[in-house]
Amino acid sequence: MARLRVELLALAVITPATAAQRPALGDAVRPFVAIDTTSVALIHARVIDGTGAAPKTDQTIVIRDGRIASISNSATTPVPSGTLVMDVTGKSVIPGLVMVHEHLTYPTGPGVSGNLTESFSRLYLAGGVTSMRTAANLNGIGEIQLKKAIDAGAHVGSWMDATAPYLEGAPGMNLNQFYELEDAADARRHIAYWTGLGATSLKVYMHITRDELRATLDEGHKRGLKVTGHLCSITYREAADLGIDNLEHGFFAATDFVADKQPGVCPDAGAQTLAALDPNDAAIQSLIRYLIEKRVALTSTLTVLETLTPGRPIPAGLDVLDPILRDQFMRRKAQIDRDTTSVFAMLFPKLGKWDVDFLRAGGTLLVGTDPTGIGGVIAGYSNQRALELLVEAGLTPLEAIKVGTLNGATFLGRGALVGSIAAGKQADLVVIDGDPSARIEDVRKVTLVFKQGVAYDPQKLIASVRGRVGLF
């Protein structure tokens, strides 16, 4: 980890009033904490505030009781007495990442996703993710219990919007961890059960019926929950008309352009149809405008799609995997790289372009990583890669950072609390050794991650799971 010059003026004492601002940290969390005091000043920082505005240089950020107390010019700002001072000259401070298509599972075998709630929760935080939506889960009550433990300070990890298990129709995915809904009434029962246990959002899946989706939207919205979807049997236009809040994987899951698409049936040729489209085709540009008109947000997940595309780089973070899983991914990637007929070779760049087109047309673009597919999408590392891929697709670095911070926070209803750097907001911040506003790849150089004003050491978090991700 790059060294930070720290001048200790005085360590503030944690008072009961301070403790009320955030939970006391348990013994399982403390080994990963670098700084835990009531008042910290980051001086000489380059501030990239997450709004898309140009960076401000030589700034002092004062953190007090878990909140951002002030942001001002270092040359003219006296540091309050009793404050831990950190000189971050040459470094940037960005908001904590807010990623909305994350999972605490990983493909560990044919038709099986392993439960990685322990290792992935550490890696997400190490990568700068301070808030995340799990976008449906295969761990059932485990993820909801994890959210509660993180909120209570008993477990290390990002704040979680814990999505209920998938709402999937029949015939569903060939995974033994999926439950297939019987009908619309069953969808309502599913939602009542899981929200009663603490789930905070919903996700519909590929084979859901119109009636089941309609019931999900009605029941979810009654409870104040947002509904997202990875669709196939239902087109994007149909889902927008029914009132869905969010669609996953950019336009990859859109079956609107399949010529012989049958109502309620998931066609086989969705990806091939998209790959054959001209990137500027009037039909997809019309769909972009329609989704914006209907206020449907779109989640870009280029990271998982990149792993399915021949000739793309080896993903970062493979060294943290159990060696069996690392070798398994490398074999799969070698097969993909040899595939001269892959539809993704044509489709991948178009998907990135359509994400950009959607944002530039006024749509709400979000970003996530989706650690599924053939593997290789590693928590934390892939979140940083997601921003790089948005820039590769055509966004500016500042636009990509906003998509990965303020856009996600605003969509999750937390924009007044997190997602940008402003006085009064929660101190969820990432210190980066470089300037990602000029070189987005610098986003990989995380030196500290602040969550609720507590600074975590990313290297300790990573070291604690290196070589064992896939086991726990």
Domain coordinates in residue numbering, the chain? 5-96+420-458, 98-411
Predicted local distance difference test score (pLDDT) of residue 6 = 38
CA distance 207 to 180: 9
What SS3 class is residue 460?
Answer: helix
pLDDT at 175: 62
Q: What are residue 299's DSSP bridge partners?
A: 366
Three-state secondary structure along 376-422? CCCCCHHHHHHHHHHHHHCCCHHHHHHHHHHHHHHHCCCCCCCCCCC
Find the radius of gyration of the CA atoms of the chain: 22
**Cβ-contact 420, 409 below 8 angstroms:** yes
Four-way CATH pick for 5-96+420-458: 2.30.40.10, 3.30.43.10, 3.10.129.10, 1.10.3720.10: 2.30.40.10
pLDDT < 70 stretches in the chain: 1-21, 173-176
pLDDT of residue 174: 59
H or E stretch covering 261: none
Q: What is the pLDDT, as a whole number, of residue 1?
A: 38
Record the tokens describing residue 275, joined without a space: 């790959």
Run of H or E including 149:
helix 141-151
- In words, the CATH class of domain 98-411 is alpha beta
Report the amino acid identity of residue 46. R
